[in-house]
Amino acid sequence: MPHVMIVVSSFYEEISTHLLEGAKMALEEKHCTYEVFEVPGALEIPLAVQYGVQREEGRGAGKLKFDAFVALGCVIRGQTSHYDIVCKECAGGLTRVSLDYSVPIGNAVLTCDSREQAIERAHPEKRNKGGAAANAALELFELSIKTRR
């Protein structure tokens, strides 16, 4: 079973809690193990994932500790261009880590216009984007196994 690193931004606590709950439920349903790491905001998520990629202890010689990664957080549009910068840099950072290291990353860093919109997307009983990101990471992990044969 895959061992997954979940990185969650604590900036919007209620939204992050919903995202994390959905991701955990999805991983537990598939009998995966996971570890959760909290970071302050969305901009810190890519580096935290990269730290996880670079840890090569505990999974055997030459293997990564984590088989897949899940990024969780939320950015809500404000009245300045800061929103656009944070969204672009977080998504770009996650893409770079994924491609540079060939690791599966499920991305549920929500980019929303309002808190209500974010809750709708994050809540496990609604759109459950945390669960969707966990499932995407697992699907990419399975694809990586199939393509290595």
User: Predicted confidence band at 107 (pLDDT cuts at 50, 70, 90)?
Assistant: very high
CATH of the domain at 130: 3.40.50.960
| 8 A C-beta contact, residue 97 and residue 108 | no
What does the pLDDT read at residue 79?
A: 85
List, in sequence order, every residue forming a beta bridge with 9; answer none if it has no partner: 39
3 is annotated as an active-site residue: no
Where do the DSSP E strands lie in 10-144?
33-39, 68-76, 105-112
Taking only the tens place, the pLDDT of each residue in 123-147 is 999 999 999 999 999 999 999 999 9
User: Predicted confidence band at 148 (pLDDT cuts at 50, 70, 90)?
Assistant: confident
Q: How many domains does the chain have?
A: 1
What would the mean pLDDT of 99-118 be, rounded to a whole number? Answer: 97
Domain carrying residue 75: 3-148
Query: Per the residue annotation, which of 18, 31, 82, 123 is the catalytic one?
Result: 82
What does the pLDDT read at residue 62?
A: 58
Taking only the tens place, the pLDDT of each residue in 36-65 is 999 999 999 999 999 999 865 544 445 789
What does the pLDDT read at residue 61?
A: 47
Q: Which of 16, 12, 59 is nearest to 36 (CA)?
A: 16
Average pLDDT of the residues of the chain = 94
CA distance 70 to 51: 13
